[in-house]
Structure 1
Amino acid sequence: MPREILSVAEMVAADRAAVAGGTPTAVLMERAGEAVAQAVRARYARRPVVIWCGPGDNGGDGYVAARHLRRRGWQVVVEVAYPPSTDAARRAASRWKGETRPLSTELAAGALYIDALFGAGLSRPLEGEVARLARLCREQPLAIVAVDTPSGLHGDTGRPLGEAAFHADLTVTFHRRKRAHVLVEGRKACGEIVVADIGLRSVQDVDLFENDPRLWERRFPWPALDAHKHTRGRLKVVSGEAWNTGAARLSARGGLRIGAGAVTLLSPPSALAVNAAHLEAVMLAPFETDADLESAGEQADAVIIGPAAGVGEVTARNLAALARTGAALVVDADALTSFRRDPEELFACLDRDDVLTPHPGEFERIFPGLLAGSPERIAAAREAASQAGAVVLLKGADTVVAAPDGRAAVSLNGTPWLATAGSGDVLAGFIGGLIAQGMESFEAACAGAWIHAECGARHGPGLIAEDLPGLAPAALAELYRRR
């Protein structure tokens, strides 16, 4: 089953549902604190531990973790920032029989610190000694484990609520990741993230998911026993002029590697010779006018337009012609920028089977002010998909895929090695190739993004875009074995 990503409100609802179903908060707290202790013991050699406890249930988790670590022979001190303020936290504090002292800003380099001050539900900036401690921690190389989220982060955006926030090497959260755990700013503050099962049930009607194979692998378009190239999908890619052809070839090769049975590069006459010199299994066909493109698109299941296509009215007309064919469109790069003066003209050409693949700069051109004005990237991508009436893939270290019906997914396997010219062209090819094979567009965009990142991680340093299509077979073979 795909794993949901929860908002703070949804996590609160899951907790309340568990309590209403007969599991007391004290029991959930005991499970959470024990999970923190287990994660610490699994990852760190025994050393002195200082646990900072706040007033709420996050602090209660800290008292429980202290008890379990002490029981295992660890030297533990609890430092109290505020007295416990909830019944469950007071109960947990009363069961802690070890050393307790006020919160201190005197830090020891060899100790392990556990931040159980405030969890994902914090809604105001850190204050007083807690804020001072957070600032001091950023100046010293300390080992810090956070309970739920590092204190001072907003649980829905991953951004600091004020000037001071903690950063952790390890964050232990419960039941499901929250948005702060998947958006890049929060992920950087959280370090390694462990999701512990404390016996909660899934929340109903959640439509935000981790983008990994559990979300789409059951509908991945593996070929049937009697498959041939014409049943595996027809993908076409629009090339730029003679001096701008490499990006489209990268897309075409990506589509071929991901499994499309027949891939054709549609080339202006001036670029035929240079494209022919570089193509083998990818076919080549000329076009001169938007009418020619429309005719070619009628023989395709999916068409990619944008990679080095040229910015301007010609590309805008070409996209409009392809939109009349019924083929699903993957709209990237120059094809997006060509509509920067009138995004509504682009949206009028699209339907829910089409996919837009902007990086943040292109996103701003087509959806001006939306990214800056949204609380976070998930909300921005969802609103963009609603405005465009198409799937939107907002690229980044935390790539977000959003559908017009509200579904969204966030990639967790992003890698900085993909930050290289042409990488996005291959991604467009992966997505177009999957759509051509009959995969639903939202799932194709999710699968393409995950496989793309997996390829980048497999290669690592020194990656260039030309490497990516050749890395796809190993990633696909692993998926095939998992069926």
Structure 2
Amino acid sequence: MMLPLADLLLTPDAMSAVDSAAAASGIDSYGLMEKAGQAVAAAALRYFPGAIRYVVLCGPGNNGGDGYVAARALQQTGTTVRLFHLGDPQQLKGDAARAFADCPIEGEAIGGYLPQAGDIVIDAIFGAGLSRPVPDDIAAVIARVAAAGIPVIAVDLPSGLDGRSGQVLGAAFRAMRTVTFMTRKPGHLLLPGRELCGELEVFDIGIPGRIVRAHADDLLAENTPAQWYAAIPSAGAETHKYKRGHLIVFSGGPNATGAARMSAMAGLKAGAGLVTIASPPDALGVNAGLLTAIMLHAVEDEASLRAWLADRRLSTFVLGPGFGSGEKARQFCLALADRHLVLDADGITAFRDDPQQLFDAFAEGPTRLVLTPHEGEFGRLFPDIAADETLSKTDKARAAAARANAAIIYKGADSVIAAPDGRALINANAPPWLATAGSGDVLAGIVGGLMAQGAPAFEAAAAGVWLHGLAGQHAGKGLTAEDLVAAVKPL
């Protein structure tokens, strides 16, 4: 499926290559800058018509060029415009120099800007063209603007934000709106970048789609149904419960059974035809008293599990929620190495001392393992990857997926789902109130339920994360895990 240009994600380097290729093809690059600056000016007038003055902060590159165009366009409408520049604008090159020459407003050094009530700041200092911490004088301006509560419109990206990783490079503006061009960048979706961008507008300045797509990362996108819907089995008129798969969720002991029940019910709600809780014998009574649609099977130890696994129809498992992180978790996980497994919570932590043992068990054949680590768990399984500050969250998830031959759900408010083949999706539909006890158990169950129906590991993981976010939206603020399960709907 060919995604609309606005749905693609291009790194800053890739977008620079697009700009160069557009210019090389004969397209008037200054005309593109003119359209970009005019779009910024239009956004300022549309969303902040009551501004007493528009304050345009221009940097030393093409982002600053967009700012000079925007300043000129705003002045032509009769508004009050103040212009501040970083460095000597007489040293500008190329299109940015032309934009400066065409701007009739005399500017001042950026360090002299003092916010006033009624200001609207247009941040055209760095955009995506920054890969090092912001200079001290710009950090001081950012601090003054924040302290005064002045609304900011960012051009491309808030200055100080890394467009590749979404991380802050020392200091960054918190924009109320961001206007970017042609496509989004990963930093528009990854946190904290997503929050710092405010409302995001993607404006088409006229670069041909063929040029943009030629430089796009086809393996990276936002997590939406367009990325996986075709791979998720749908129920037909002839479907019955045995065709919709059998999911098994392992329970902890008698004092730790609730997490497994949450996962099991989520798997059932996500569409699995049958769901069984595999319970220690001493927890059977607790589980039996609280189960209705979920079946129950006693599994005491590795030997009893392996005997049960003689039934090859048992293909998909969730291990970890409330299970305990000791030797038993490791034994059970390794016994399931030829099945489809969602390894969550305690199941992940069980391999903190020897993660390679886990990776080796699932190394051969198609991807059948889904790992769901949050930040701490990710660091336990992949300590070197987690510690590499040169990598974005997307980079880390991809590296981990390749190492583990697993689909990785690197959890958080900006969960990244990655596959061993390099595919990666950034999720953006999760409301903040999903951060509650039991939420991860529900996610594991949804993913397991989709895998039980035959969805491939990566697509099940991506769809599960998206459905989990959708359920959180429907359940609303103040949700509990029980509310979240009740809100889970199948595709």
TM-score above 0.5, yes or no: yes
Q: Deviation of residue 368 (structure 1)? A: 1.9
**Equivalent pair of 1:157/1:183 in contact (CA under 8 Å):** yes
Match among 158, 166, 173 for residue 166 of structure 1: 173
**SS at 2:238 equivalent:** coil
Match among 333, 348, 353 for residue 336 of structure 1: 348
Scaled by the length of structure 1, the TM-score of the pair is 0.92
Residue 230 of structure 1 pairs with residue 242 of structure 2: yes
Residue 450 of structure 1 pairs with residue 450 of structure 2: no
Question: 2:159 is aligned with what amino acid?
Answer: S
Aligned to 1:180: 187
Match among 13, 29, 48 for residue 33 of structure 2: 29
**SS at 2:333 equivalent:** helix
Residue 469 of structure 1 pairs with residue 477 of structure 2: no
Q: Deviation of residue 188 (structure 1)? A: 2.9
Tell me, in whole angstroms, the C-alpha distance in 2 between the residues paired with 1:465 and 1:333: 16
Question: 2:351 is aligned with what amino acid?
Answer: F
Aligned to 2:200: 193
Match among 328, 333, 340 for residue 319 of structure 1: 333
Q: Note closer, same or farther for the CA distance 1:283–1:72 as it changes in structure 2 (3 Å cut).
A: farther
Aligned to 2:145: 137
**Equivalent pair of 2:281/2:298 in contact (CA under 8 Å):** yes
1:292-325 Cα offsets, whole Å, 9 max, x none, are: 32344432231111111111111111111111xx
Residue 91 of structure 1 pairs with residue 106 of structure 2: no
Could you tell me which runs of 5 or more consecutive residues in structure 2 were left unpaired when the two chains were aligned.
none
Could you tell me which runs of 5 or more consecutive residues in structure 1 were left unpaired when the two chains were aligned.
none
Match among 363, 368, 377 for residue 378 of structure 2: 363
Aligned length: 472
Tell me, in whole angstroms, the C-alpha distance in 1 between the residues paired with 2:14 and 2:122: 25
Residue 278 of structure 1 pairs with residue 290 of structure 2: yes
**SS at 1:231 equivalent:** coil
**SS at 2:408 equivalent:** strand
Match among 400, 417, 423 for residue 407 of structure 1: 423
Q: Note closer, same or farther for the CA distance 1:106–1:140 as it changes in structure 2 (3 Å cut).
A: same
What percent identity do the matched residue pairs reach?
Answer: 46
Residue 373 of structure 1 pairs with residue 388 of structure 2: yes
**Equivalent pair of 2:319/2:347 in contact (CA under 8 Å):** yes
**SS at 1:272 equivalent:** helix
Of 100-109 and 49-58, deviating more is 100-109
Q: Deviation of residue 98 (structure 1)? A: 4.5
Residue 121 of structure 1 pairs with residue 111 of structure 2: no
Residue 151 of structure 1 pairs with residue 156 of structure 2: no
Q: Deviation of residue 437 (structure 1)? A: 1.3
Q: Deviation of residue 116 (structure 1)? A: 0.4
Q: Note closer, same or farther for the CA distance 1:198–1:443 as it changes in structure 2 (3 Å cut).
A: farther
Aligned to 1:40: 44
Q: Note closer, same or farther for the CA distance 1:199–1:214 as it changes in structure 2 (3 Å cut).
A: farther
**Equivalent pair of 1:76/1:99 in contact (CA under 8 Å):** no
**Equivalent pair of 1:6/1:206 in contact (CA under 8 Å):** no
Tell me, in whole angstroms, the C-alpha distance in 2 between the residues paired with 1:193 and 1:386: 32
Scaled by the length of structure 2, the TM-score of the pair is 0.91
Question: 1:18 is aligned with what amino acid?
Answer: A
**Equivalent pair of 1:234/1:262 in contact (CA under 8 Å):** yes
**Equivalent pair of 1:114/1:146 in contact (CA under 8 Å):** yes
**Equivalent pair of 1:46/1:74 in contact (CA under 8 Å):** no
Question: 1:37 is aligned with what amino acid?
Answer: A
**Equivalent pair of 1:307/1:333 in contact (CA under 8 Å):** yes
1:15-48 Cα offsets, whole Å, 9 max, x none, are: 2222223322212212222222233333223312
Q: CA RMSD in A?
A: 2.0
Tell me, in whole angstroms, the C-alpha distance in 1 between the residues paired with 2:39 and 2:270: 40
Aligned pairs for 1:301-320 (under 5 A) are: 301-320=315-334
